[in-house]
Amino acid sequence: MELQGTVKKLFDAQTFASGFQKREMVILTQEQYPQPINIEFLSDKISLLDNLKEGETVKVGINIRGREWVSPQGETKYFNSITGWRIEKVSDMASEPTQASPSQSASPVSNENPFAGDDDDDLPF
**Percent of the residues in the chain that have a pLDDT greater than 70, as a whole number:** 73
| Side chain identity, residue 26 | V
pLDDT, average across residues 77-106: 72
**pLDDT confidence tier of residue 91, bands split at 50, 70 and 90:** confident
Q: 87 or 121: whose pLDDT is higher?
A: 87
Q: How many CA atoms does the CB half-sphere of 38 hold within 13 Å?
A: 6
Domains of the chain: 2-89 (2.40.50.140)
Is 3 within 8 Å of 27 (Cβ atoms)?
yes
Is 49 within 8 Å of 27 (Cβ atoms)?
no
pTM for this model (two decimals): 0.68
Least-confidence region, from 15-24, 64-73, 100-109, 116-125: 100-109
Is 31 within 8 Å of 84 (Cβ atoms)?
no
Is 7 within 8 Å of 56 (Cβ atoms)?
yes
